[in-house]
Amino acid sequence: MPIQPEAYTYSNTDQTSPEPAAGNAQNRSAAELAAGLLDDKAHVSPKYLYDTLGSKLFEALCLLPEYYPTRTEDAIVAANMASIVRAIGPEATLIDLGAGNCAKAERLFPTLRPRQYVPIDISREFLEQAAAQLQPRYPQMRITPLGLDFSHELALPDSVPAERRVFFYPGSSIGNFSPDQASAFLRRLRDACGADGAVVLGVDLIKDAAVLQAAYDDALGLTSAFNLNLLRNVNRLLGSDFNVADWMHEARFNERAQCMEMHLKARRSVIVRWPGAQRLFERHECIHTENSYKYTVPSITRLLSQAGFAHAQTWLDGRNWFAVVHARAA
């Protein structure tokens, strides 16, 4: 049972992201989805995997024996909690990127005692449910959930203090970006965290391809369901008519790039329609839905340094499969 924090300034859960902004975001999502589906090599951003059902499927996926990242990262944090909290320091505003059910950040609360917790996720409904469940357990902590797409912009409201911002990005999600995209994303974090801010990343490290393949194509088929559910979310956002039965999940390891890829492959030739456009997908043609790049400790440290972060501290598991990295604004 979590230890109740003692020294927070009281606030009820803040509600943000007014409806007009949400409507603009949905229009932008529809335009982005249409552009990706009409590209020569069709693709959809992995952020669209995380609607409410997708977020719950990912929760279940993290419990699978094949899916090592979550439990490995959890073990690193548990074994090094005191050291990680010392690195972050007191009075932090913890900004949780892709917060999901907020469980990864919550394990830090009893020791870290941040002055404010700001979970951010594209799946607003799921996020607000998770934040509402947190509030009774931490009644004196200020929680400010933000339903926004942080891959595009990171304009934080005035309710988030500018001082001591610590961006928390666990779960190896930095690997969803290509190295160039990751560099640009980290530079945006550097700009947003100010002179006294920091970042804490979970980073999946290069390892045997068979371990990776099993993690992204599990025997139970949960990763397949997670990937296929993206099509339902696309239908909701774009007004398209994808039939999930026409598609299959495919996971591939790109050895040259040291990257796991997820695709949806057409089982047969199919025409997909949405307002104003359509596309014929030939049999076995794919939609690229996710990349997961793997790093070494030197390569992620170098990426952070190029983005304007310094003094990186790294914590590893015993097999060197995963790293938790803290770096301060330079």
How remote is the C-alpha of 155 from its chain's centroid?
18
- CA triple 223-109-90, angle to 5 deg: 130
At 152 the pLDDT is 75
Instruction: Locate the domains of the chain by residue range.
Output: 41-60+221-293, 63-153+161-207+295-329
Q: Parallel, antiparallel, or unpaired for β 198-204 and 165-169?
A: parallel
Segment holding 260, helix H or strand E: strand 259-266
Q: pLDDT for 84-123, tens place per residue?
A: 999 999 999 999 999 988 999 999 999 999 999 999 998 8
Tokens encoding 235? 């239908």
Q: pLDDT for 114-134, tens place per residue?
A: 999 999 998 888 888 899 999
Q: For 175-207, b where at least 16 C-beta lie within 10 A, e where not — what string?
A: bbbebeebeebbebbbebbeeebbbbbbbbbeb
98-107, 269-278, 318-327: range with lowest mean pLDDT: 98-107
What are the phi and psi torsion angles at 196 (to 5°)? Answer: -115, 20
Q: Quick check: 2 pLDDT over 80?
A: no
At 183 the pLDDT is 95
Looking at 3.40.50.150, 3.40.50.450, 3.30.70.60, 3.30.70.100, the CATH number of the domain 63-153+161-207+295-329 comes to 3.40.50.150
At 100 the pLDDT is 86
5-9, 59-63, 198-202, 324-328: range with lowest mean pLDDT: 5-9
Residues 293-301, mean pLDDT to the nearest whole number? 97
Is the pTM value of this prediction over 0.85? yes
304 burial via Cβ count (<10 Å: 0-12, 13-18, 19+): buried
Residues 151-174, mean pLDDT to the nearest whole number? 91
Asked if residues 46 and 289 have their Cβ atoms less than 8 Å apart, the reply is yes
Q: Determine the Cα–Cα distance for residues 39 and 309; give it in Å rounded to an integer.
A: 35
Residues 250-273, mean pLDDT to the nearest whole number? 97
Q: How confident is the model at residue 15 (pLDDT cuts 50, 70, 90)?
A: very low
Q: How confident is the model at residue 211 (pLDDT cuts 50, 70, 90)?
A: very high
At 268 the pLDDT is 98
Higher pLDDT pick, 21 / 60 = 60
